[in-house]
Amino acid sequence: NRLRPAGAEAVVISIANFKGGVGKSTTAMTLAQGLTLLGHRVLLIDADPQGSLSTLTGLVPDLDVQEEDTFMLLALGEEDSIRYAIRPTYWDGLDIVAAAPLLFGIEFNLPARQVKEMANGFEFWNVLNLGIDDVREDYDVIIIDTAPALSYGTVNALMASNGIIMPLPPNALDFASGAQFWTLFTDLTENLIGAGGSTKTFDFINVLLSRVDSDDASTMVRKWIIQTYGDKVLPAEIPRTVVTSAASAEFNTVYDISRYDWNARTYKRAREAYDNLVAYMEGVVRAVWLK
């Protein structure tokens, strides 16, 4: 790959929040597509048993996704590498490890595995981290969409990540639950011991202002968010737009739909927001590569 320096590996990014409906799957898919447009190879991992991200890649979780298409076999200890579950998507340069409701089984078998591994001296047995080792050189970026819960699957995803993006719409209830999530996962990850026996550290943990409205209430909560999270708030934010919601009504994103179907200004506003996010995150990825 002409972009990634020799020896650098895929940067792993989790998209996470306690709440559903904050824009996690939309962010995962759109960011991934945008990065491929800049020439990167991207692997999506759907770690949410609801399978929304898989749906955005055109799969029907209940029909198209079997156990062996998810990271379930890693959790069961039947496979060591996630390679078996990777499949191409309709989008050039974008592969996926899919999810379906059956993936909820990891919430039972991962704790059981953990107890066993602890007996062998492992502090935290991270199935995703071990499973992606084999493919780190095949991709520039790996994006994990997580379930809206601090579940076993989510903790695995967070612990396997270089960095985290927490999408957060500026409304009061999302702000409150976002703060709880932030505290919980920073406490949790500070106390979990990562690979190699040292405490897990992240290259970046950021808040993405998502579905941003411009009414007074949203503007006020947007200010609280910036006061609370300071420079952790990404300098690119995503407005709520009809283009994004209309695209997602057809299981598409702003990169899938034709700009010619839209008034130029309306389209540009939605598209530019994601282009800015993608450009900023590419800079973050490069910085991690050069570390």
Q: How far is the CB of 246 from ligand ADP (least distance, A)?
A: 9
Q: Which two tokens stand for residue 133?
A: 């080792």
Residue (52 or 189) nearer to ligand ADP, CB: 52
Q: How far is the CB of 279 from ligand ADP (least distance, A)?
A: 17
Residue (18 or 125) nearer to ligand ADP, CB: 18
Residue (240 or 286) nearer to ligand ADP, CB: 240
What letter would DSSP give residue 148?
S
Q: How far is the CB of 22 from ligand ADP (least distance, A)?
A: 4
Cβ neighbour number for residue 190 with a 10 Å cutoff: 10
Q: How far is the CB of 18 from ligand ADP (least distance, A)?
A: 10
Residue (156 or 210) nearer to ligand ADP, CB: 210
How far, in whole angstroms, is CA 134 from its chain's centroid?
Answer: 20
Find where tokens 């979780």 sit: 61
Residue (25 or 156) nearer to ligand ADP, CB: 25
Q: How far is the CB of 245 from ligand ADP (least distance, A)?
A: 4
d(CA 193, CA 172): 34
The partner residues of 239 in beta bridges, in order of sequence, read 212
How far, in whole angstroms, is CA 197 from its chain's centroid?
Answer: 25
Residue (8 or 238) nearer to ligand ADP, CB: 238
d(CA 11, CA 118): 28
Spell out the residues 6+ positions from residue 96 whose beta carbon is closer than 8 angstroms to its own: 43, 44, 45, 46, 53, 54, 57, 59, 86, 87, 89
Q: How far is the CB of 103 from ligand ADP (least distance, A)?
A: 15
Half-sphere exposure of 268 (CA within 13 A, CB side): 3
Q: Which two tokens stand for residue 86?
A: 């990777």
Question: Which residues are at the interface with ligand ADP (CB under 6 A)?
Answer: 20-26, 52, 210-211, 238, 240-241, 244-245, 248
Residue (34 or 135) nearer to ligand ADP, CB: 34
**Max Cα separation, the chain?**
61
Q: How far is the CB of 78 from ligand ADP (least distance, A)?
A: 28
Bridging pattern class, strands 94-97 and 87-88: antiparallel
Bridging pattern class, strands 204-209 and 163-168: parallel
Spell out the residues 6+ positions from residue 73 whose beta carbon is closer than 8 angstroms to its own: 67, 79, 84, 85
